Amino acid sequence: MKAASKFLSAASAVTLSAALVVPGALAVQFVATSAAEAAVVSRVEVSGNQRIDAETIRNYITIKPGKAFSSSDIDSAVKALFGTGLFSDVQINQVGSTLVVKVAEYQVVNQVLFQNNKKLKDNALAMAVQLKPRGTFSQATLDADVESIKAAYKRIGRDDVTVTTQVMQLGDNRVNVVFNIAEGDRTQIAAINFVGNSAYSSRRLSDVINTKRSTWLSFVLRDDVYDDDKLRADQELLRRFYYNHGYADFQVVSAVGELDSATNKYTVTITVQEGDRYTFGDVSVESTIPEVDSKSLESVVETRKGDVYNAKDVEDSIIALTEKVAGSGYAFAQVTPRGDRNFENHTISVVYTVDQGTKAYIERIEIRGNDRTRDYVIRREFDVSEGDAFNQVLIQRAKKRLEALNYFDKVDISTVPGSQPDQVVLVVDVVEKSTGEFSIGAGYSTGGDTAGPSVEGSITERNFLGRGQFIKLSAGGGKNSRDYSISFTEPYFLGRRIAAGFDVFKQTRNYDNYDSDTVGATVRFGLPITNSISTQLAYNISQEKYELDDGCDANGDGIPDADCSVSTAILDGIKQSPWIKSSVSLGLVYNTIDDMKNPHEGIYATTTAEFAGLGGDAKYVKVTGRGSIYQTLSEQFDLVGLISAGAGHVQGYGSDGELRIFDQFQSNDRMIRGFAYGGIGPVDPLTGDHLGGTTYFNASAEAQFPLPVVPESFGLRGAVFADAATLYGSKITSVAQESTNLELRASVGLGLMWASPFGPIRIDYAIPVKKEARDDVQEFNFGISTRF
């Protein structure tokens, strides 16, 4: 009995081993000569095949008539046939002088059908499963596809989905596969709790992570889907947030999501250990390469003694040092930071050590998972290519660039040994995401040249045809406006990191007494100078047409009716239309904002110079600038301070240097709140029309804070502010004007900001505390908010 058991165990082990080596195996028979003996057959007979030609099967095996073979050759033949993925069973026997190869073919899938699915369309599910029409069928693959469908539904928040299958036999070894799906209800996130945090409020930490609590807007935002991978990514976001704010000992102790089956809602609990806050101690650079002077490298280091410890500054310093040394001819140089904590005074001294590093070259770069995105779109984000020196710092920077494209849900870069000891293969695995958007929305604005109700629709594709190009078509309008535009951007013009694009637009506006119609186009080129500084060069051309509206010019003769009061300056501008404006502009942007959607720290500054006169009718030079500084005033209460300032000047040139009214600056809510659009500055005393000015200065101070009681997932924040501005000067000589001198206006007020699914919306109530007699006041302002 023991001998029989041992034999059965051995047989089971052989069968199991064969199944592991060749997945899907049902049975394997070995009836052949012993390993020590060789055999010869006169022919190879194939049976059991229906679709696969017998000669094709013979070609897969190495055993040939008249050639000696052994049991190892039979073993190899079995593995080779199973390895094709075409057969569910393979048996090879020697019968006399004939080698009999008996196979059982997998059934062929005729159709893959999905039933009762609404939230995920057929094409999305077809991409998730392995079974395909005209492919082979196996039960193991079918079972795996069921789990893949469940995983796809779980990613959209439907954890209780059930999937049953039906295999329909069609004859001729063909089948239809049917997946019956009961999608179930959508799971929600009832609460996100943080435990152990004291330096930052739970509200502030909720802004950091991507997982959000379910609210009445979740059906639009879809940000309340619980996903284990998403929660792991949130842990990394929390680490980076704390590391970048001085908490070098921060740890995520645990992060769990518990599902209440009764309510179908998750409760997410994230337990953290913040540790102490550190500042930088001594910062120095050392070099083990004799030819590299460490003192000359200190200028590129971004960490400074006394500053709050910031892991991003350390990373940027490593990159800057690596590029500096590599530019000096040391491509294999490796920069390693060494931190020395002082627990008593809570400082971290950092020493950057420059070593020669191991010499390794990139043999090739393999890209996987990019079914839609072209290879070159991914490769161009690398500063290294095949044959270059391997540098881990540059590889990590490429990974960040790929993630910043927002084309992929996930980016992983790994290395495997190359064909030579000093060569490596870079393997880039990506998981693509949807990059197309269709949006439609409605709104209402109280100020500007688009005041009143409005509606807008747009189609956007960020990765057009997988080429990494951006294209957007939009149309919108309201009671007093119509807008149409087409935009296109190629981010790597001529293979270089230069963004080239164009915009074509048409705008119509209906003002109190006249209408305008503008058609134009812009050709632009953008170039990043550093990680924080970029520049843009553009050529702009437009045609502007103005005419009195029907209510002011009933006769259509261009002369206002007796009961219509219009400034002579406006009438002169109307008479000069159509007006061709041809200009070139140069802009410079400095941006260190931490989060463009929800800024807490950093600087955003921009300046633009425009020269009009390259043909056309307009002749002027216009210079504008604006800067905003965000600073967190209280981490615990999530209080953010904002100081902004701006200025602009336009100067006409030519025989008289005169400007049209339409070329001068008009005041708006970005200049000062509490006043109507075009409500301050030079004014025609006869008609009361504000004519704009040639120079303006403005400044604003604001404190932003979360609203008490209101959940942070609603995206609502409050603000208190104080504004000051002046608009003065005029190059219009056709009418006498008042308020042309530098006169300061000021206002104070309250604001309510909402990060809505349709864009940031803001309501402001401002009271002018200093104004001029002819200024137009507008205390309430409501509309789409533009922070930068």
pLDDT of residue 22: 38
pLDDT tens track for 522-547 = 999 999 988 889 999 999 999 999 98
What are 56's two structure tokens? 């094709």
How much is the pTM?
Answer: 0.71
CA-to-CA separations, 564 to 11, 612, 685, in angstroms, rounded: 104, 33, 15
Assess contact for 338 and 355: CB atoms under 8 A.
Answer: no
Place of tokens 């409501």: 782
pLDDT of residue 442: 63
Span 372-377, average pLDDT: 94
Asked if the model's pLDDT at residue 28 lies above 70, the reply is no
DSSP-assigned states of every residue in 734-776: SS--B--S---EEEEEEEEEEEETTEEEEEEEEEEEE--TTPP
Q: How confident is the model at residue 341 (pLDDT cuts 50, 70, 90)?
A: very high
Q: Are strands 334-342 and 347-355 parallel, antiparallel or unpaired?
A: antiparallel
Residue 693 DSSP one-character state = B
Instruction: Count CA atoms within 13 Å of residue 723 on its CB side.
Output: 27
pLDDT tens track for 145-178 = 999 999 888 888 888 889 999 999 988 888 999 9
pLDDT tens track for 497-525 = 899 999 999 999 888 788 899 999 999 99
pLDDT of residue 728: 94
Q: How confident is the model at residue 745 (pLDDT cuts 50, 70, 90)?
A: very high
Buried b (16+ CB within 10 A) or exposed e, 715-751: bebebebbbbbbbbbbbbebbebebbeeeebbbbbeb
Q: How confident is the model at residue 26 (pLDDT cuts 50, 70, 90)?
A: very low
Asked if the model's pLDDT at residue 12 lies above 70, the reply is no
Query: In degrees to the nearest 10, what's the CA dihedral of 45, 49, 50, 52?
Result: -90
pLDDT of residue 182: 92
Q: How confident is the model at residue 665 (pLDDT cuts 50, 70, 90)?
A: very high
* CA dist., res. 595 & res. 598, Å (int): 5
User: Roughly how many angstroms between the first and final C-alpha of the chain, as a whole number?
Assistant: 84
pLDDT of residue 38: 66
pLDDT of residue 15: 34
The residues, ordered by sequence, that sit 6+ positions from 489 with a Cβ below 8 Å of its Cβ are 469, 470, 471, 499, 500, 501
* CA dist., res. 501 & res. 468, Å (int): 13
**Strand order from edge to edge, sheet including 347-355:** 279-287, 347-355, 334-342
Asked if the model's pLDDT at residue 3 lies above 60, the reply is no
Among residues 360, 381, 378, 367, which one has the least CA distance to residue 424?
A: 360
Place of tokens 């864009």: 759
pLDDT of residue 448: 54
Q: What percent of the chain has pLDDT over 70?
A: 91
Q: How confident is the model at residue 34 (pLDDT cuts 50, 70, 90)?
A: very low
The residues, ordered by sequence, that sit 6+ positions from 61 with a Cβ below 8 Å of its Cβ are 44, 76, 77, 80, 81, 101
Place of tokens 């633009």: 608
CA-to-CA separations, 419 to 13, 22, 362, 414, 641, in angstroms, rounded: 36, 27, 11, 16, 57
* CA dist., res. 338 & res. 722, Å (int): 46
Asked if the model's pLDDT at residue 129 lies above 50, the reply is yes
More confident residue, 284 or 185: 284
CA 100 to chain centre: 59
Among residues 367, 400, 365, 380, which one has the least CA distance to residue 468?
A: 380
pLDDT tens track for 751-774 = 999 877 667 788 999 999 999 988
Among residues 624, 657, 741, which one has the least CA distance to residue 693?
A: 741
Span 219-230, average pLDDT: 74
pLDDT tens track for 75-106 = 989 999 988 878 888 999 888 889 999 988 88
More confident residue, 354 or 552: 354
Span 580-603, average pLDDT: 92
More confident residue, 606 or 668: 606
Asked if the model's pLDDT at residue 628 lies above 50, the reply is yes
Cα-flanking dihedrals φ and ψ of residue 120, to 5°? -120, 125
Among residues 247, 86, 277, 270, which one has the least CA distance to residue 196?
A: 270
Assess contact for 754 and 762: CB atoms under 8 A.
Answer: yes
Cα-flanking dihedrals φ and ψ of residue 556, to 5°? 70, 25
* CA dist., res. 412 & res. 414, Å (int): 7
Asked if the model's pLDDT at residue 294 lies above 90, the reply is no
Span 654-659, average pLDDT: 78
Residue 505 DSSP one-character state = E
pLDDT tens track for 593-605 = 988 888 889 999 9
Asked if the model's pLDDT at residue 441 lies above 80, the reply is no
Span 657-685, average pLDDT: 89
More confident residue, 442 or 127: 127
Mean per-residue pLDDT over the chain, rounded = 86
Q: How confident is the model at residue 36 (pLDDT cuts 50, 70, 90)?
A: very low
CA-to-CA separations, 159 to 115, 188, 241, 268, 464, in angstroms, rounded: 18, 10, 30, 15, 33
- Reduced to 3 states (helix: H, G, I; strand: E, B; else coil), residue 358 is coil
What are 216's two structure tokens? 């009445």
Assess contact for 149 and 163: CB atoms under 8 A.
Answer: yes
Q: Radius of gyration of the chain from Cα atoms? A: 35
H and E: helices and strands count for the chain: 13, 35
* CA dist., res. 249 & res. 259, Å (int): 31
What are 380's two structure tokens? 């161009």
CA-to-CA separations, 478 to 57, 453, 509, in angstroms, rounded: 71, 5, 10
* CA dist., res. 129 & res. 666, Å (int): 59
* CA dist., res. 403 & res. 185, Å (int): 32
pLDDT of residue 24: 38
More confident residue, 442 or 332: 332
What are 97's two structure tokens? 């002088």
Q: What percent of the chain has pLDDT over 90?
A: 46
